[in-house]
Amino acid sequence: MVPMAPSSLFSKVFTRRFRPKGLPTRLALLFVLAGGWSCSSSPMPEIRRAYASGNFQRASEMLASLEKRDPSNAHLYGMERSLPLLAMARPAEAEKELRNARDRLDELTGKGAWEWFSSMLLDDRQNDYEGADYEKVLVRALLSVSNLMRGGQDADAYAYQVLEKQLEIMGSFEAPNGKKPKKAYKLVAFGSYLRGILNSDDAMHLEIAKSAFKRALEIEPENPLIRRALDRVENGKHSRKGNGVVHVLAFVGRGPYRVEVDAPVTALAFQIAQIVWQHNRRTGAIPNLTRVPIPALAFHQDNPETVGIRVDGRPVGEALTVTDVELCAEKEFAAMKDYILSRAVLRRAFKLAVVETAKEVNRKSRGREKNLGLNLGLDLLGMLWTGAEAADLRCWSFVPARLQAFRIELPAGVHEISLEPLGKGGLHGGARRVRVRVRDGFNTYVLGLFPSWIGAVPLTSDPAEELPPARSDSRISPASNSSASNSSASNSSASSLKKANK
């Protein structure tokens, strides 16, 4: 059963068309709504199991069904579904889902008064999913790769948006105490690195590549993959005559998910809540709360660590991490934890204030003996109301844990690329293979998707076309995915930006 947000029912509790007598009755109705919401079950655990076990078709179908049944969260389900779609070699559909999600997340940035009010009535699960900041950034990175796997006309523009969006987010938030905690976020280097390699095989765009690699190296100064890429653009050639380059991009593991924890209220969180409380109520002090439920991060302990790469059966190396998504999420949570706590404190204080207001109203309107019993009932109702509150555990749980890359220079022609998930202690999973065509002086791109030890068949921008016996026409293998096998990803930033914002 898919949970349905009861915001439309909330509005009826206080409207002229539906006005139950007495504030206590209205509080009771709100509690019933809260209980109905909290008891609803989510199908996401089953979907996550299907995805991790390699049943990408099942995961995709269930998520597509959720998009139709719960349209207010369709953008979240679309982000989740983009990964199974990529795993099934359907990058055009993945790009569409990600683009819709990007646009919707941008629309939802900065909640309005009603969203805040409905959140105060129960919890954040009532609102449309606004997304974590790192999700708003990474959706653009995955857009770039998805587009690259079907020709790459807009890949450069999407890659450019990655760092641009993150810097915008980091500079736009100022807390009530005047601080800017988002400045402590971990920057994402993957978009800049991707821009660099996209422009590295075009002599007209080498300055773009150089600038992008420099920016990536500023973010990840110890990364040897990025340092070698910058040195190559500044001092060397793209490749030897007769050779081309294969860039392996790997999405490894499953990213963080959310769990509810009963967290202690920090002094800073209480101070922030007190500032907001006094600004809005102008009277009274906020109740002294010690613990509140919040969504915390949890990490998969069974993720593969990296991907081993073979070319024509010969081992050539292991993919290197360009962006550690888990670390980005961890830095974001640490920076914003006090503000998450303060929001939970305000929500709990609001409910306590409503109950106390109801008790005060009834004290003035009824006799003392009746007040005693009613006040006890209101206290019980308040306990049940706050007890129905829960942390919002929605998240983009299929986002990769690590965005990795590897560069291979090869003679022009057809080669078999084999990718194998690797872990600590020599653990490894089953290899996945794809045949690619390497072109003299140009880049070829391969995407490996390994959410667990069961990976998907790799995608490539340049699939090898083979002529079947006794036939004169060529056909792309069903395992391949791109209809633009001879296209180049060397569009200018200005023209690409215009296309990507359509």
CATH level 3 topology of 7-387: 1.25.40
Tokens describing residue 116? 């805040």
Q: How far apart are CA 397 and CA 255, in angstroms?
A: 6
> What H or E segment, with its residue span, contains residue 269?
helix 267-281
Indicate the DSSP class of residue 205: G
Contacts of 319 (CB under 8 A, 6+ apart): 248, 250, 252, 306, 307, 309, 404, 405, 406, 448
Strand partners, 261: 294
| Percent composition of the chain: helix, strand, coil (DSSP 3-state, to 5) | 50, 15, 30
Q: For residue 358, what pLDDT is reported?
A: 63
CB 178 within 8 A of CB 227: no
Q: How far apart are CA 412 and CA 394, in angstroms?
A: 46
DSSP string, 53-87: TT-HHHHHHHHHHHHHH-GGGHHHHHHHHHHHHHH
CA nearest 192: which of 170, 172, 221? 221
Strand partners, 324: 402
Q: For residue 16, what pLDDT is reported?
A: 39
Q: How far apart are CA 206 and CA 198, in angstroms?
A: 10
> What H or E segment, with its residue span, contains residue 36?
helix 23-38
Burial of residue 409, with CB atoms counted within 10 A of its CB: 0-12 exposed, 13-18 middle, 19 or more buried: middle
Q: How far apart are CA 140 and CA 95, in angstroms?
A: 10
Q: For residue 371, what pLDDT is reported?
A: 60
Per residue of the chain (502 residues), give pLDDT as tens. 444 443 333 334 334 344 444 545 555 455 544 444 444 578 999 999 999 999 999 999 999 999 999 999 999 999 999 999 999 999 999 999 999 999 999 998 866 444 454 555 566 677 889 999 999 999 999 999 999 999 999 999 999 999 999 999 999 888 777 789 999 999 999 999 999 999 999 999 999 999 999 999 999 999 999 999 999 999 878 999 999 999 999 999 999 999 999 887 776 666 666 666 555 554 556 666 778 888 999 999 999 999 999 999 999 999 999 999 999 999 999 999 988 888 887 777 776 666 656 656 666 665 555 566 565 665 566 555 565 677 889 999 999 999 999 999 999 999 999 999 999 888 888 999 999 999 999 999 999 999 999 999 999 999 987 533 433 333 223 333 333 333 333 333 333 333 344 4
Query: How many CB atoms are located within 10 Å of the residue 168 CB?
Result: 13
The CA-based angle 410-414-418, given to 5 degrees, is: 75
Q: For residue 57, what pLDDT is reported?
A: 97
Q: For residue 279, what pLDDT is reported?
A: 58
CB 108 within 8 A of CB 131: yes
pLDDT digits (tens, 9 = 90+) for 58-80: 999 999 999 999 999 999 999 99
pTM metric for this prediction: 0.80
Q: Reduced to 3 states, what is the DSSP secondary structure of residue 281?
A: helix
Q: For residue 235, what pLDDT is reported?
A: 87
Tokens describing residue 336? 């914003």
Helix axes 190-199, 224-235, angle to 10 degrees: 30
> What H or E segment, with its residue span, contains residue 341?
helix 325-365
Q: How far apart are CA 312 and CA 415, in angstroms?
A: 6
Indicate the DSSP class of residue 137: H
Burial of residue 56, with CB atoms counted within 10 A of its CB: 0-12 exposed, 13-18 middle, 19 or more buried: buried
Q: For residue 355, what pLDDT is reported?
A: 60
Q: How far apart are CA 371 and CA 359, in angstroms?
A: 8
- Residue written as token pair 């509150």: 389
Q: For residue 362, what pLDDT is reported?
A: 62
Query: How many CB atoms are located within 10 Å of the residue 58 CB?
Result: 16
Task: Sketch the domain layout of the chain as residue ranges.
Answer: 7-387
